[in-house]
């Protein structure tokens, strides 16, 4: 077969595209690092929550958006991370002598609870992953919801450990910057720590989803048969996604417990997983920025509405979800990018090609809606494909 030589030019393209992206990321992180110091404690706290819950949503998106698995049990790993950190913090607090030297005490007091939370949530996610991914696509939704119910009920049944609905009150993180200490009303220097850790995790997730793992995840999401035929162990890929997501959720949970001075069993509830779903879907599933964006928008909305009309938030969320599902399934990010592309096309006609995003037929809809429509039209091709789908599904 006549093998033509590879042309070097196109290989350079992704790299040249990465540069403005990197600049943008640095700009956002820089802003997030600088702006809060000029804000009041309340706004700082809001930004902090956006970062932590944004990380949670992103970790959810690794499972949902990238691997196509809808987990209603993501809250379990968040909750384990939160309680792992909380218990460690309490243990250290009660054992530490009040006048202990700040240097090593500070490092241990922050690092140990974080590691404990990450370890507890991460390990249990790793342990459960192979079992849960075996349940099939619909079964997975239900099975993960059940894990959330079990974790929640178990936590409720051990009030002595978890504090039940009332929860545990935690001491503030033993962290100080100069004379500025972390307090319960004002995260203060804890904000910097959270920003650093969240940025690092986002970067790590970014590296993972852009590498072979990301490719395998998306392939498995859209066509398991194809993934298998190309040598990918589908169950292993799914379990990996689940473990990666679970570890991120555990970290977010640990950060949450360490910065909010309080943690209750509510963190295990499946509705917390559903929050991640809402934010991710609204922001743009299957992207890195989407979940962070969606979380920020919804937390700001909730904050704004809680002053005006508190019961409005859930209804608004419901309507926003329906609108997202029906009108822009790619989320806010997809909408914004689409508008930007439209504007670019208008400004420089003829310079655009088709992109992956435009042809995407709704996520985790492996077969694609286009084929469904073709089948509806009764085209010979469409009917054949529909028949093929039937063979696969039943």
Shortest CB 55 distance to another protein, Å: 21
Among 209, 213, 244, 263, binds another protein (CB under 8 A): 213
Q: Does residue 143 interact with another protein by CB under 8 A? A: yes
Q: Does residue 326 interact with another protein by CB under 8 A? A: yes
Among 130, 189, 192, 329, binds another protein (CB under 8 A): 329
Q: Does residue 337 interact with another protein by CB under 8 A? A: no
Shortest CB 320 distance to another protein, Å: 8
Cα 323 from Cα 224, distance rounded (Å): 29
Shortest CB 219 distance to another protein, Å: 5
Q: Does residue 76 interact with another protein by CB under 8 A? A: no
Q: Does residue 182 interact with another protein by CB under 8 A? A: no
Q: Does residue 137 interact with another protein by CB under 8 A? A: yes
Interacting span for another protein (CB under 8 A) from 184-192, 245-253, 287-295, 383-391: 383-391
Among 54, 68, 119, 122, binds another protein (CB under 8 A): 68
Cα 105 from Cα 103, distance rounded (Å): 5
Phi-psi region of 378 (alpha: psi -120 to 50; beta: other; left: phi over 0): left
Shortest CB 279 distance to another protein, Å: 12
Whether the CA torsion 159, 261, 119, 54 is positive or negative: it is positive
β-pair partners for 262: 169
Q: Does residue 360 interact with another protein by CB under 8 A? A: yes
Comparing CB distances to another protein, the nearer of 105 and 364 is 364
Per-residue contact string for residues 275-314; x = within reach of another protein by CB under 8 A = --xx--x-----------------------------x--x
Instruction: Centre a 10 Å sphere on the Cβ of residue 315 and count the other Cβ atoms it contains.
Output: 11
Comparing CB distances to another protein, the nearer of 41 and 368 is 368
Shortest CB 379 distance to another protein, Å: 11
Per-residue contact string for residues 91-130; x = within reach of another protein by CB under 8 A = ----------------------------------------
Q: Does residue 147 interact with another protein by CB under 8 A? A: yes
Cα 247 from Cα 123, distance rounded (Å): 8
20-59 binders of another protein (CB under 8 A): none
Q: Are 312 and 97 in contact (CB under 8 A)?
A: no
| Sequence-distant (≥ 6) Cβ neighbours of residue 321 within 8 angstroms | 278, 281, 282
Shortest CB 243 distance to another protein, Å: 12
Assigned token pair, 288: 């890195």
Q: Are 333 and 289 in contact (CB under 8 A)?
A: yes
226-285 binders of another protein (CB under 8 A): 226-234, 237, 240, 270-271, 274, 277-278, 281
Eight-state DSSP code of residue 133:
G
Q: Does residue 80 interact with another protein by CB under 8 A? A: no
Q: Are 36 and 47 in contact (CB under 8 A)?
A: yes
Q: Are 173 and 183 in contact (CB under 8 A)?
A: no
Residues 45, 47, 48, 49: what is their CA dihedral angle, to the nearest 10 degrees? 90
Instruction: Centre a 10 Å sphere on the Cβ of residue 68 and count the other Cβ atoms it contains.
Output: 23
Size of the site for another protein (CB under 8 A): 103
Among 157, 169, 306, 352, binds another protein (CB under 8 A): 157
Cα 203 from Cα 209, distance rounded (Å): 10
Whether the CA torsion 296, 302, 308, 312 is positive or negative: it is positive
């Amino acid at each position: 077969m006549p093998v033509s030589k590879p042309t070097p030019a196109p290989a350079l393209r992704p790299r040249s595209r990465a540069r403005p992206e990197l600049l943008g990321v640095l700009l956002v992180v820089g802003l997030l690092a600088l702006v809060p110091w000029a804000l009041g404690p309340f706004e700082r706290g809001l930004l902090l929550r956006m970062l932590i819950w944004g990380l949670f949503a992103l970790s959810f998106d690794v499972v949902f958006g990238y691997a196509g698995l809808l987990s209603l049990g993501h809250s379990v790993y968040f909750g384990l991370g939160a309680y792992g950190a909380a218990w460690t913090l309490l243990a250290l607090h009660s054992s530490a002598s009040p006048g202990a030297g700040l240097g090593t005490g500070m490092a241990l007091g922050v690092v140990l609870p974080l590691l404990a939370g990450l370890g507890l949530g991460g390990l249990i996610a790793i342990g459960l992953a192979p079992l849960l991914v075996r349940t099939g696509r619909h079964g997975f939704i239900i099975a993960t919801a059940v894990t959330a119910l079990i974790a929640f009920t178990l936590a409720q049944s051990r009030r002595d450990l978890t504090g039940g609905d009332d929860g545990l009150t935690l001491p503030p993180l033993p962290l100080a910057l100069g004379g500025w200490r972390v307090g319960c009303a004002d995260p203060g220097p804890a904000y910097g720590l959270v920003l650093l850790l969240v940025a690092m995790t986002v970067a790590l997730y970014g590296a993972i989803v852009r590498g072979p793992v990301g490719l395998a995840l998306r392939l498995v999401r859209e066509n398991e048969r194809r993934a298998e035929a190309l040598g990918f162990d589908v169950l292993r890929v799914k379990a990996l996604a689940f473990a990666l997501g679970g570890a991120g959720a555990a970290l977010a949970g640990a950060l949450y417990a360490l910065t909010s001075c309080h943690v209750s069993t509510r963190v295990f509830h499946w509705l917390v997983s559903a929050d991640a779903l809402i934010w991710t879907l609204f922001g743009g599933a299957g992207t890195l920025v989407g979940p962070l964006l969606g979380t920020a928008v919804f937390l700001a909305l909730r904050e704004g509405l809680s002053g005006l009309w508190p019961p409005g938030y859930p209804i608004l969320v419901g309507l926003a979800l329906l609108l997202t599902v029906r009108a822009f399934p790619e989320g806010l990010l997809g909408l914004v990018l689409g508008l930007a592309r439209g504007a670019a096309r208008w400004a420089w006609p003829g310079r655009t090609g088709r992109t992956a995003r435009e042809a995407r037929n709704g996520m985790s809809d492996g077969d694609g809606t286009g084929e469904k429509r073709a089948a509806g039209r009764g085209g010979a091709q469409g009917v054949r494909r529909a028949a093929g789908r039937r063979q696969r599904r039943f």
